[in-house]
Amino acid sequence: MVPANRLGNPFICGGPVPPSHFIGRERELQIVFDQITSHALGSIAICGDRRIGKTSLLQYVCHPDVLQEWGLSQDKYLFLFLDSQSISEFRPSRFWQRLLTLLLRERKGNLPPEIIEGILAKEEIGHTDFEIILDEISRRGQVLVLLLDEFEWVIRTDDDNEPITRDFLSALRALMNRTPKALVLIVATCRELHELCRPIKFIGSPFDNEFTFRRLRPFTRREIDQLLDNALKGTGIEFTLEERDFVCSLAGTHPLLIQLAGSTLLEFRMQGLETAPNSELIRAEFEELARYHLSQLWENCSREEQMLLTVLALKRSGEREKSKWAYDGVAFERICRRHERTLKDLLKRGLIAQVGKSITVCPATFESWVIREIRNADKEEFAKRETLMFDLLPRDEAEQVTNVMRRISDRENVRLGRTDWKRIGRYEIIEELGQGAMSIVYKARDPNIARLVTLKVMRLDWEVRSQKSKMRFKREAMSAGQLTHPNIVAVYDADEDRGEPFIVMEYLGGPTLARVLEVLAPLSLARAVDIALQIGNALDYAHQHGVIHRDVNPSNIILLENGQVKVTDFGLAKLASTSSSSTSQSGAFHGTLEYASPEQILGQEIDGRSDIFSLGVILYEMLTGERPFQGKNITSVIHRLLSSEESLPLTALGPHLPLELKDILFKAMAKDPDQRYQTCAELGEDLRKMISSRGSGEE
């Protein structure tokens, strides 16, 4: 149905493709019709990944126009499509009943309805009843072609159902083999039929012996082009060669993924947007749409296939991010050689691609999905993936692979493999308080003096753990530890345990400013200014002692019950960056982007004025509940932070706030450090003046 007034998106992202839009599969169709029309009347078992097009193929095969095209008389060949999932609480009797009801309703081959009705009137229907129908069909010189979709639905192999399934399949086999032959089955399953039938203890020949097997492969490039052309017909839009390549790079060769990628790209084009500048957005949209289907592809892989896909994805991702990769190429070659057969299977299924000697997971979005699943895995999921490696690989290889998996994992407890650590250094771990970009934070106890402490294990760049880096870490931590001020969290100790550097600080029970803002933002003018003044005091003191914070943000500000404010993590951002030569060289940014000064983002030399900029951002957020430099993605935040034309959204301040405040914020967040307050004391002075000019009536 073509929309009358609206231009719709013609790609099919849901169920099967209708016969009118079916394309390709010439080879499979040839085999199906050859088997049906051969003297032997052979049956066929079609298998293939989820959403590869099995149902579409079966529905196409039994379409009257297609039968006519292939020269099959509908008087002779009675095609009956049955989705096995439509049978409630599967039992053989229900299967036969369902089949007979369909035959009756669809009036196939003018079979006498009274015979069918007679059988349907029985309480229990067995295969011998169905034999009567087959007798009638063969007497008339006809052939019944049963297309049984979702056939695994009837193959129940648990202890209770196995004998029923065995008897049912044996009966079906007997019906197929009666002479004269009158029954052909075309069954579709996701896993191969003989794999599904393996646990069944057949007496005599197994059911699956009777079938010709065909696996539905992914599309060829010609079929992909045909699919795209077909879909775009009538839209007035054409995809260029580059756009088609882009679709393939997103979706590989899987028909449904091609539909999803085509649909996403078309949506952008229909809005008048160009593909190249929006390719990242299109990719992100596609990944969201395809996520579930990619997980289905994974679920449909054997354990060995999952292991290989993981190894391949890690290898490739490691090659891209050189600093994170420590995989032994020789071990990789060994794994591939040992599992050559499985690699070939994956190749046939289009889940890997080989160019020369290089093998990659296909499509690239599937590779990203595999990596993302490792990265986001919780403890249990991660353990499952680790077990997979240790079950299927020699210990040394499994260790190599799981070490890489730990490195890319986002969850620190998984990454460090120390979920069961009860002690770090001499400190007893009580509970995990949270995880940040740079550290994992624990509440701990110092047993020497029975004091509660906050213990932070640093997330330092994993690869660079030279003695020199570790010494630098200690030195920086200790210089931060020299700061003694009522508004600064005291540092007690810095050390390392099992190669993990950690820092020990004063324990404070209060919430962070970030948490308070989440619930209470915006704060009153008086409270916001009071907090800003206390942060400013802490920063001023640190700057006078030559320590720059580098990551002033609400998560690093702790509010105590008595109204006191404490700033924590002095210099830790620098620790994180200086501990790794690779990140320093790459100019990687350590801090919290939305609060960072322009000079910090640009990787320039910074001084205390950079912290003042961050304080300005915090003050703005306390007063409005919003961050001044926000954006849909990192790039737009950076653009806003750096752009000189981008003025501060000061309208969000509201009419109830004094005009002077706008000037103060403007100066605190000036893009040029020279235009900014030069010290926190200067900023504090202006804030105090503003408050006193408002009088004591202001809350």
Partner 1 sequence: MPIGINPFWIDGPVPPSRFIGRKRELTKTFSQLTGPGQGSVAISGPRCTGKTSVLHYIAAPEIAAEWDLTEDNALISLFDCQLVDHPFNITAFWRQVLNLLRPHFQDSMGEGLQKLCQQEQISNADIEMILDAVHERGQRLILLLDNFERLIRTQVANETVTRDFLSQLRALINRRPRTLSLVVTTDEPLEELCQTIDFGGASPFPNSFMSVRLKGFSDQEIDELIENALSGTGMTFDEHDRRHISRLSRGHPMLALLAGHLLFEAKAAGPMTAENFQAMEARFREEVKKVGLGVG
| Least distance CB 297 / partner 1 (angstroms) | 12
CB of 558 to partner 1, least distance (A): 20
Give the separation between CA 358 and CA 341, rounded to whole angstroms: 16
Residue 55 Cβ vs partner 1, minimum distance, rounded to whole Å: 6
DSSP H or E run through 198: none
CA 149, 154, 159 angle in degrees (round to 5)? Answer: 155
Q: Which is nearer to partner 1, 153 or 666 (CB)?
A: 153
Nearer to partner 1, 255 or 608 (CB): 255
Q: Count CB-CB contacts under 10 A for residue 545.
A: 14
Residues that bind partner 1 (CB under 8 A): 1-6, 8-21, 50-51, 55, 59, 63, 81, 83-89, 98, 101-102, 105, 150, 152-153, 155-156, 189-191, 196, 267, 288-289, 292, 295-296, 518, 624-626, 651-652, 654-657
- How many beta carbons lie within 10 A of that of residue 11, not counting itself? 23
The rounded radius of gyration (Å) of the Cα atoms in the chain is 34
The answer to whether 523 touches 554, Cβ cutoff 8 Å, is no
Tokens of 224: 């992909």
CB of 592 to partner 1, least distance (A): 18
Give least dist CB 351 to partner 1, A: 18
Residue 502: C-alpha distances to residues 75, 419, 518 (Å): 81, 16, 29
Question: Kind and range of the H or E element at 46?
Answer: strand 43-47
Please identify, using beta-carbon distances, which residue of 14 and 272 lies nearer to partner 1.
14
Give the residue with the Cβ less far from partner 1, 395 or 656. 656
**In sequence order, which residues have a C-beta less than 8 Å from that of residue 52 and are 6 or more positions away?**
216, 217, 218, 254, 255, 256
Query: Least separation, in Å, of the C-beta of 643 and partner 1?
Result: 19
Residues in the chain: 699
Alpha helix (H) residue ranges in 409-552: 412-415, 467-481, 513-520, 525-544
Q: CB nearer to partner 1: give 6 or 322.
A: 6
DSSP calls for 641-659? HH-SS----GGGG-TTS-H
Q: Which C-beta is closer to partner 1: that of 488 or that of 528?
A: 528
Min dist. Cβ of residue 522 to partner 1 (A): 8
The 3-state secondary structure of 271-307 reads: CCCCCHHHHHHHHHHHHHHHHHHHHHHHHCCCHHHHH
Q: Considering the complex, what minimum distance in angstroms separates the CB of residue 498 from partner 1?
A: 37
In terms of CB distance, is 59 or 534 closer to partner 1? 59
Q: Are 361 and 320 in contact (CB under 8 A)?
A: no
Q: What is the closest distance, in whole angstroms, from the C-beta atom of residue 83 to partner 1 in the complex? A: 4
Closest distance to partner 1 from the beta carbon of 8 (Å): 4
Residue 417 or residue 625: which is nearer to partner 1 going by CB? Answer: 625
**What are φ and ψ of residue 568, in 5° steps?**
-120, 175
In this structure, are residues 198 and 209 in contact, taking their beta carbons and an 8 Å threshold? no
Quick one: 19 or 511, whose CB is closer to partner 1? 19
Select from 266, 234, 228, 272 the least CA-distant residue to 9.
266
Please, which residue, 192 or 225, has the CB nearer to partner 1?
192
